[in-house]
């Protein structure tokens, strides 16, 4: 079945450091790919998405490129801020018997220190 693998962390960085969170996937079809962010005590918010190969999703300084050849969707940010501290989830959307099936990775906790 479909699956998503991502580095579990925790990842601890200093403010203004470069961030990479790796995400790879396994899917039988042609999935759409997503990054979600979860702040403490809250639900998940969509950060960015890409729906086909070579698409780049971007939002709030975060970027991720859909790489079909390496089945990856790594999240990057050039300069992190303390406010970026959260848990980040990589996810894919694929077709299933009932329509859309979402599969989430385990999440990566990011802590940014001032």
Partner 1 sequence: SQTIHQWPATLVQPVGSPLSLECTVEGTSNPNLYWYRQAAGRGLQLLFYSVGIGQISSEVPQNLSASRPQDRQFILSSKKLLLSDSGFYLCAWGTGLLTDTQYFGPGTRLTVL
Q: Spell out, one character per residue from 49 to 78, where the chain touches partner 1: x when CB under 8 A holds, - when not.
A: x-x---------------------------
Q: What residue has token string 């790796």?
A: 22
Q: Between residue 82 and residue 111, which ones bind partner 1 under the rule CB under 8 A?
A: 89, 93-95, 98-100, 102, 104-107
Shortest distance (Å) from residue 4 CB to partner 1: 9
Q: CA 99 from chain center: how many Å? A: 22
CA gap 92, 34 in Å, rounded: 6
The strand pairing partners of 46, in sequence order, are 36
**What's the closest the beta carbon of residue 29 comes to partner 1, in angstroms?**
8
Contacts to partner 1 from residues 19-38, by CB under 8 A: 31-32, 34, 36
Q: Which helix (H) or strand (E) element contains residue 95?
A: strand 86-96
């Amino acid at each position: 079945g479909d699956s998503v693998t991502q580095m579990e962390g925790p990842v601890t960085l200093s403010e203004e450091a470069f961030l990479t969170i790796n995400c790879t996937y396994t899917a039988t079809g042609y999935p759409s790919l997503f990054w979600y962010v979860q702040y403490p005590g809250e639900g998940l918010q969509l950060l960015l998405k890409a729906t086909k190969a070579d698409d780049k999703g971007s939002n709030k300084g975060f970027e991720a490129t859909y790489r079909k050849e390496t089945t990856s969707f790594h999240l990057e940010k050039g300069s992190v801020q303390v406010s970026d501290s959260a848990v980040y989830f990589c996810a894919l959307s694929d077709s299933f018997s009932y329509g859309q099936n979402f599969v989430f990775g385990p999440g990566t906790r990011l802590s940014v220190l001032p």
